[in-house]
Structure 1
Amino acid sequence: MIGTASPQDRGFDSNRLAQLSGWMDQLVVDRKYAGCGVLIARDGDVVFDHATGLRSIASGAPFERDTVARIYSMTKPVTTVALMMLVERGLVHLDAPVSNFIPAFKHCHALVPGASTMDQVEPCATPTLHQLATHTSGLSYPFNPGLLPKEMDAQDLMFKANQGALADMADQVAALPLAFQPGTRWEYSVSIDILGRVIEVITGQTLADFLQTEILDPLCMSETGFSVIPGTEDRFADLYTPLEGDAMALNQAKIGAETLRLVDTTEGSPFLNASMHSGGGGLVGTMDDYLRFAEMMRRGGALGDMRLLSPRTVRFMTSNHLPGDIASMGPMSFAEQPMDGMGFGLGGAVVLDPARARCAGSVGDFSWGGMASTFFWIDPVENLSVVFFTQLSPSSSYPTRPQLKALVHAALIH
């Protein structure tokens, strides 16, 4: 279903691709990343793969193509595909209020503009599933600036792998006011985690079971799951941060003297036996597995004989669902992508204007990344799928994503 081809046969200059390898190697030499890997496919064939450095500095184990990594927010497009599969089956529609599935959201309140305390609220509409999928719901993340994120941080509402049942944390989130009236702003949030719970309510299955039977198994993503797949533990990478404190605490981020401080290892990692099925950030897996997902999206919802979505649904998902670009919606939050010239579809960003985004690419590129600096994009114009894996949190540490896109496009000559 995914073959291999020479770079020259797919329009790449091999010498220019070698610059990509050198750039990755230098990231390791400079101790920005312990290790990293990339896969590039064009017209359905892998034309380039390179892995360099270490998946564990302590053990000296190399970072390889089959290294298992935490993909964090690259889980979001997978969960959103699951939601759209239910939409296609007529089981739910995107304008449905989330309270139809999670009653704790029934009586929503939002912080008033300029609020200085959490009790300064006003009634508001309940967020819809569409607002959840587009990060316009009024929810937030603990690492964003503002009153709501501060309270979420105090309650540790992060949907971490060891934080118990998804249903319980969804109710905890629902007990807090929204950061703003739904639909009025864009703010990166736990909204896709809430959608994961909605999927559980609709299907009567755990999110893990639904993703397994409906997406992971059909796409032969056999080394991806909310827990490290038994037998792959020896390929699970360590996680590092250049920060002195919490690798996720962007509000108090302080660069330390050690650029690769160890955060999580195979031994004792919560990802070995995850209790929380985080639809917004819980999956671990390999580059080849995620390339299969990316290629399914690029090919319009199917990979080989397995069709998950119709081409029209994929086009709908990868269209801009905002009234303008992200920047026009007054975001105050951290995001995995630039905001100028970038729209947002369902579960991922969409390039509206590469010039305004200040990054080489095509109109219609669909992409997202993860907090451990992983990244993917599909390009419908150039028939490209690119997957980049590493394990450094936060993803804002270095500008590797625009650099990667520049290097790939520089090597594409036909």
Structure 2
Amino acid sequence: MKISLLAKTAIPLALTLLLASCGAKAPSSSGLAEDDTGLEFPEVEKPPASESFYEPVMQRLDADMQKYVESGKVANLAYALIKDGEWVRTGYYGTRTLDGSDPVNERTIYRVYSMTKAATAVSLLMLLEEGKFSLDDPITRFLPELDDLKVTRTFEAGDGRGLRPAERAPTMRELLTHTAGFGYGGGRPDYANQVFLQRDVEGAASSDEYVRRIAEVPLMYQPGTAWSYSAASDLQGIIVERITGERLGTFMKRRIFDPLGMVDTGFSVSEAQRDRLADFTVWTPGQPLTKVEGPMQDMNAAQIPRDAGGHGLVSTIADYERFAEMLLHEGTWEGQTLLTPESVRLLRTNSTKFTDPDTGFPIHEPFRGTGFGFGVAVITNTIRSGLGAPEGTYFWDGASGTWFWIDPYHDIVFIGMVQNLSANPVMPRKTAMMNVYHALFTDYFPSNPVVQEDETE
């Protein structure tokens, strides 16, 4: 009877794994693993990172990413796929400016918007490790202006009838997980978010003014009872400032960016960096791309009154990869330790386990099959998410279309950059994720199986 190819590979693999689980001896000088009986089995070696992906699907990834530029929706798109610390795939499409010929690369500077939130959470976790606060502390310990918050009648209520006092102040943990109840504006129709826009909270000229304005905005729900993407990260950044006495950007530079060698990350750009800053564009269907005018186009420090912990950073693929690698390696990268492994695990653990009492299904998810940690979404169900990434992968997007994800199981970091801010969002992360995990080889077999073909019937 002939043994199939699957058997040829699966049998030695199973034996090898069995031996490993039973404490098999180290490989012999012949390159074969030896057990207590003296039998030898071939080693199962992990392939190089560059050989971990199916090339035809990776070519489709390139084509899909390039289409965003060819369609006229964005001026450029750049991405990098890193596995096991190796840059295995990059794509750089389009030009840095609308009217120029300067191609983008890993050092092109982009406004990363909500990818800022992860850095702000890391900043606060550093202070947590130093004993500056407890996760169960009320935020009013640092933001006393918020000691008289009101709550809307029901979650997502359309008017302000029936406002009532908050049962308690939100905790630091709830602020980090966006379960505190704050609004964010963004065109949402409920009363709390409409008041957020009316008070022009985002237009505050200082951190203190930001807090005063948001104190006039009711919470969307009682603290800790639901999840909603919110202004919480901006308040986190202000708390960092109040604890340290430093501006948020100064703290981040000293404690995160300089130690990690992130030379192009901050809340503004210098004149020396300006010729690497990507144009900020807006896309409207049927219309050509246009530049966004104003302070966000220029990113001059003098025009940016406060460092927004929720959306203010600029960065590059090269820089943000270093930050992501630090998180992937549980707080340490290239000899620099920013956080303990316990803090990183806290950051990437789902803290939004709300379920519908009638059905038992998850509610208040950022996306299907995901929860939320500290400044990042966390995949909790691979199938339900439809993304292909394993549970425990964490990610987030920026409003201008930037994105990243970190996959601890496969040792993968992916960073993508575009610069479109409009009512017609361009968000390539899902397409990139699906391609990468369709292409990824998740199993590998010995190349020299010991089982020989049996010609007998």
Query: Whole-Å Cα distance in 2 between the matches of residues 365 and 31 of structure 1?
Result: 31
**CA shift digits 1:110-143 (9 cap, x unpaired):** 1112755436311111111111111111101111
Per mean C-alpha deviation after superposition, the further-off stretch among 118-127 and 45-54 is 118-127
2:336 is the alignment partner of 1:294: no
Q: Name which of 165, 181, 184 aligns with 1:141.
A: 184
Contact 1:135 1:191 in 2 (8 A): yes
Partner of 1:262: 291
C-alpha distance in structure 1 between counterparts of 2:269 and 2:281, whole Å = 18
Relative to structure 1, the CA distance from residue 158 to residue 315 in structure 2 (aligned partners, 3 Å threshold; closer, same or farther) is same
Q: Counterpart amino acid of 2:179?
A: T
Shift of 1:410: 2.4
Q: Structure 1, residues 363-395: CA drift from partner, whole Å, max 9, x if none? A: 100111100000000001110000000101259
CA-CA distance at 1:59 after TM superposition:
2.9
Letter in 1 for 2:328: R
Q: How far 1:399 moved relative to its partner? A: 5.2
Shift of 1:32: 2.0
Q: Secondary structure at the match of 2:389?
A: coil
Residue 329 of structure 1 and its aligned partner are, at CA, apart by 3.5
Taking the aligned partners of 1:265 and 1:172, their CA distance within structure 2 comes to 23
* Cα distance in structure 2, aligned partners of 1:388 and 1:50: 9
Shift of 1:266: 8.5
User: Which residue of the partner structure matches residue 198 of structure 2?
Assistant: 154
* SS of aligned partner of 2:89: strand
1:370 paired with 2:398, answer yes
**Structure 1 stretch displaced more, 261-270 or 277-286:** 261-270
Bigger mean CA offset, 389-398 vs 204-213: 389-398
2:98 paired residue number: 57
Letter in 1 for 2:163: V
Of 308-317 and 117-126, the range deviating more from structure 2: 117-126
**Post-superposition offset of 1:206:** 1.1
Partner of 2:162: 120
Q: Which residue of 2 aligns with 1:132?
A: 175
Match of 1:284 in 2: 314
Instruction: Tell me by how many angstroms 1:258 deviates.
Output: 1.4
Structure 1 residues 229 and 120: CA distance shift in structure 2, 3 A: farther
Is the 1:374–1:395 contact (alpha carbons within 8 Å) kept by the matching residues of 2?
no
8 Å contact from structure 1 (residues 238, 266) kept in 2: no
- Aligned counterpart in structure 2 of residue 216 of structure 1, from 229, 253, 257: 257
- 8 Å contact kept, 1:200–1:207: yes
Q: In structure 2, the residue corresponding to 1:61 is in which secondary structure?
A: coil
Aligned to 1:217, the other structure's residue is in SS state: helix
Q: Aligned equivalents of 1:357 and 1:275: distance in 2?
A: 38
- Deviation track 1:174-226 (CA, whole Å, cap 9, x = no partner) reads 22211211111111111110011111111111111111101111111110000
- SS of the equivalent of 1:397 reads coil
Range moving further from structure 2, 282-291 or 226-235: 226-235
1:134 maps to a residue whose letter is: T
User: Which residue identity does 1:257 align to in structure 2?
Assistant: G
| Cα distance, 1:306 vs structure 2 | 0.2
Give the structure 2 partner of residue 246 of structure 1. Answer: none
Report the equivalent of 1:328: 362
What is the percent sequence identity of the aligned residues?
Answer: 31
Task: Report the AA paired with residue 118 of structure 1.
Answer: G
Pick one of 157, 182, 185 that aligns with 2:223. 182
Displacement, 1:63? Answer: 2.4
In structure 1, what is the equivalent of residue 232 of structure 2? 191
- Give the AA of the match of 1:372: S
Whole-angstrom CA distance in 2 between matches of 1:339 and 1:196: 25
Residue aligning to 2:85: 44
Partner in structure 1 of residue 39 of structure 2: none
CA separation of 1:372 and 1:184: change in aligned 2, threshold 3 A: same
- Residue 235 and residue 266 in structure 1: after superposition, are their counterparts in 2 closer, same or farther (change >3 A)? farther
- Does the C-alpha gap of structure 1 residues 395 and 219 become closer, same or farther in structure 2, counting only changes over 3 Å? farther
Contact 2:401 2:419 in 1 (8 A): yes
Q: Per-residue deviation at 1:22?
A: 1.9
- The answer to whether the 8 A contact 2:77-2:93 is kept is yes
2: CA distance between counterparts of 1:46 and 1:364? 22
Using the TM superposition, give the Cα deviation of residue 398 of structure 1 relative to its aligned residue in structure 2, in angstroms. Answer: 4.1
Is the alpha carbon distance of 1:236 and 1:299 closer, same or farther for their aligned partners in structure 2, counting shifts above 3 Å? same
Partner of residue 374, structure 2: 346
Shift of 1:268: 6.1
**1:413 to 2:447 alignment:** no
For residues 227 and 261 of structure 1, the distance between their equivalents in structure 2, rounded to whole angstroms, comes to: 22
CA distance in 2, matches of 1:339, 1:271: 34
Q: 1:7 to 1:234 in 2, by over 3 A?
A: farther
Deviation for aligned residue 1:84: 0.5
Superposition TM-score, scaled by structure 1 size: 0.88
Aligned residues: 388
Taking the aligned partners of 1:233 and 1:214, their CA distance within structure 2 comes to 24
Aligned counterpart, 1:238: 279
What residue identity is the alignment partner of 2:255? E
> Could you report, residue by residue, the CA deviation over 1:31-74 in whole angstroms, capped at 9, with x for unpaired residues?
12210100111111211121111221123432222111100000
Which has the greater radius of gyration? Answer: 2
Deviations 1:321-362 (A, max 9, x none): 11247983347xxxxxx5221011111000011111111101
Determine if contact 2:82/2:89 at 8 Å carries over to the other structure.
Answer: yes
1:311 to 329, 338, 341: 341
C-alpha root-mean-square deviation of aligned residues, in Å?
2.3
What displacement does 1:102 show?
1.1
Looking at structure 1, the residues matched to 290 and 370 of structure 2 have their Cα atoms a distance apart, in angstroms, of 33
Q: Which moved more, 1:17-26 or 1:122-131?
A: 17-26
* Deviation of the 1:238 alpha carbon: 1.3
Q: Secondary structure at the match of 2:259?
A: coil
Q: Is 2:159–2:190's contact at 8 Å kept on the other side of the alignment?
A: no
Q: Note the residue ranges of structure 1 that are not aligned, 5 or more in a row.
A: 1-5, 244-255, 332-337
Aligned mates of 1:134, 1:330 — CA distance in 2: 12
Stretch deviating more after TM superposition (267-276 or 358-367)? 267-276
1:30 aligns with 2:60: no
Q: Normalising by the residue count of structure 2, what TM-score does the alignment of the two structures yield? A: 0.80
